[in-house]
Amino acid sequence: MAGMNQHVIVAGGGIGGLACALALARAGVRSVVLEQARAFAEVGAGLQLGPNAVRVLAEWGLMDNLLACAAFPAALRVRDAHDGRQLGQLRLGAMALARHGQHYATLHRADLHSLLLTAVQQRPEVQLRLGARLSRCEEDAASGVRVTLEGGDTLSAGALIGCDGLWSRVRAQMLGEQPVRATGHLAYRGLLRTTDVPPALRGNLVTAWLGPRLHVVHYPVKQGERFNLVAVVHGQLPSTDDPQAWTHAAHATDLRRALGPACEELMSMVNAVPDWTLWPLNDRPALRGPHEQAQGRVALLGDAAHPMRPYFAQGAAMAIEDAWTLGRLAQDPAAGDDWPARLALYAQTRWRRNARVQQLSQRNGVVFHASGLLRWGRNTAMALLGERLLDNTWLYEGPPEPRTSH
């Protein structure tokens, strides 16, 4: 029984689940990762990783692997989507390193996932089960958590960490079924060879174009060999599409119509994208307190706890920070040696920061897509405050050390 109570079930093998298993393994905790997919596919598009997340990967010894697949942009440049003028700039590159002690990286989601997967596969503490879909979980205060898989298999462990994403089953069991929140925004995503990017936009930059009811972001990935581009516009998916799918048929003509009178330079970039995929953006309201992130032996991590709009580029980073915190607590004798106590401290440490990032992501959507007076105010503030408005020291110096008492 002691052995069983020490090991953990991690539901979901996305970035959050793999990071969680790795952090626990580093603390000497065994885990079984249950992933519903039968195989991991090269899915997704670009991700940005701030110094807060890169710091964790470096601590886990993954910096060389990150250097081998990511790009490290020199600056974030904000431009007006209609007239092309520069609205603001934040130096990244060497400046991020000097200010925040770590790099600012951009990479493909599949590369980050495979980097974590390789690390997890080297750990004897982690067992990975593909094609294993959690359908139910029950807690028994004396013996632990019991998980039932689709098909009827059962497993027991000392704790269950729900890393099963936006449509989390673990969350539904903990907090009741709640529908996801449709944002009314659609993301068109494309990947192109850097040699196909218009020469004026080929620089090592994150460029964000802001316009009324739209924004477009592009940056290099794969060590600068490819560019990732995402264009966010207002709209709905056809009602016949499966909202949980990660790719939908996308028509470049619909996107061009939604972008309206965008400037020539931006359109030259959009026109260079060979294929688009469409991704409806959904989120959930922030958790209302630690009691919603952990209850007894069950806790939520990553998108299962705090799915957010991608406008602060911190979804994957918050999942990695959650995982790091859990690993830290599993290692720390002051955090107690029983799972309910550790998970309560984990939730105490994480929920407020996650909620803040989630709320700022939502606010950025409003500011990015502003028109009229709000647009004028945004542009004026960016011109006056420059880097002070765009930098986020409180965020990039993270993750915060976990609390070790309630």
Ligand X SMILES: Cc1cc2nc3c(=O)[nH]c(=O)nc-3n(C[C@H](O)[C@H](O)[C@H](O)COP(=O)(O)OP(=O)(O)OC[C@H]3O[C@@H](n4cnc5c(N)ncnc54)[C@H](O)[C@@H]3O)c2cc1C
Cα–Cα distances (Å) from 14 to 10, 40, 128, 143, 220, in that order, read 10, 9, 12, 28, 22
Shortest distance, CB of residue 165 to ligand X, whole angstroms?
A: 3
399 sits near ligand X (criterion: CB under 6 A):
no
Residue 159's φ and ψ, nearest 5 degrees, are -155, 160
Applying CB under 6 A, among 73, 220, 302, 327 the residue interacting with ligand X is: 302
Shortest distance, CB of residue 178 to ligand X, whole angstroms?
A: 16
Shortest distance, CB of residue 126 to ligand X, whole angstroms?
A: 15
Take residue 10 and report the two structure tokens written for it: 């991690």
Whichever of 303 and 391 has its CB closer to ligand X, that residue is 303
Applying CB under 6 A, among 12, 50, 340, 402 the residue interacting with ligand X is: 12
Shortest distance, CB of residue 40 to ligand X, whole angstroms?
A: 8
Closest CA to 66 of 119, 13, 122, 17: 119
Beta-carbon contacts of 167 under 8 Å, excluding residues fewer than 6 positions away, are 180, 244
Instruction: Please count the residues of the chain.
Output: 406
Strands 214-221 and 226-234: antiparallel
Whichever of 90 and 313 has its CB closer to ligand X, that residue is 313
Whichever of 165 and 340 has its CB closer to ligand X, that residue is 165
Take residue 1 and report the two structure tokens written for it: 């029984």
Matching residue, tokens 């609390």: 403
Is residue 311 among the annotated active site residues? no
Whichever of 45 and 278 has its CB closer to ligand X, that residue is 45
Task: With CB under 6 A as the rule, give the number of residues binding ligand X.
Answer: 31
Whichever of 278 and 382 has its CB closer to ligand X, that residue is 278
Closest CA to 5 of 148, 139, 145: 145
Applying CB under 6 A, among 163, 232, 250, 370 the residue interacting with ligand X is: 163
What DSSP character marks residue 135?
Answer: E
316 sits near ligand X (criterion: CB under 6 A):
yes
Classified as helix, coil or strand, 19 is helix
15 sits near ligand X (criterion: CB under 6 A):
yes
Shortest distance, CB of residue 57 to ligand X, whole angstroms?
A: 13
247 sits near ligand X (criterion: CB under 6 A):
no
Applying CB under 6 A, among 88, 144, 315, 399 the residue interacting with ligand X is: 315
Cα–Cα distances (Å) from 272 to 78, 79, 88, 163, 267, in that order, read 20, 19, 25, 36, 8
| Catalytic residue selected from 104, 219, 311, 396 | 219
287 sits near ligand X (criterion: CB under 6 A):
no
**Furthest-apart CA atoms within the chain: distance in Å:** 67
Contact track, ligand X, 317-336, x by CB under 6 A: --x-----------------
The answer to whether the beta carbons of residues 270 and 196 sit under 8 Å apart is: no
CA 88 to CA 14: how far, in whole Å? 34
Whichever of 15 and 174 has its CB closer to ligand X, that residue is 15
DSSP state letters, 277-342: EEEEEEE-PPPSSGGGTEETTEEE-GGGT----GGGS-HHHHHHHHHHHHHHHHH-GGG-SSHHHH
Contact track, ligand X, 96-135, x by CB under 6 A: -------------x-----------------------xx-
CA 233 to CA 360: how far, in whole Å? 19
Whichever of 5 and 354 has its CB closer to ligand X, that residue is 354
Contact stretch for ligand X (CB under 6 A) within 9-17, 210-218, 235-243, 289-297: 9-17
Applying CB under 6 A, among 111, 139, 164, 391 the residue interacting with ligand X is: 164
Specify which residues 230 forms β-bridges with.
189, 217
CA contacts within 13 A on the Cβ side of 58 = 15
Contact stretch for ligand X (CB under 6 A) within 84-92, 160-168, 357-365, 391-399: 160-168
17 sits near ligand X (criterion: CB under 6 A):
yes
Contact stretch for ligand X (CB under 6 A) within 10-18, 97-105, 172-180, 364-372: 10-18
Q: Site residues for ligand X, window 30-59 (CB under 6 A)? A: 34-37, 43-45, 47
Which residues would be at the binding site for ligand X (CB under 6 A)? 11-17, 34-37, 43-45, 47, 109, 133-134, 163-166, 169, 246, 302-304, 310, 315-316, 319
Residues that are catalytic: 219
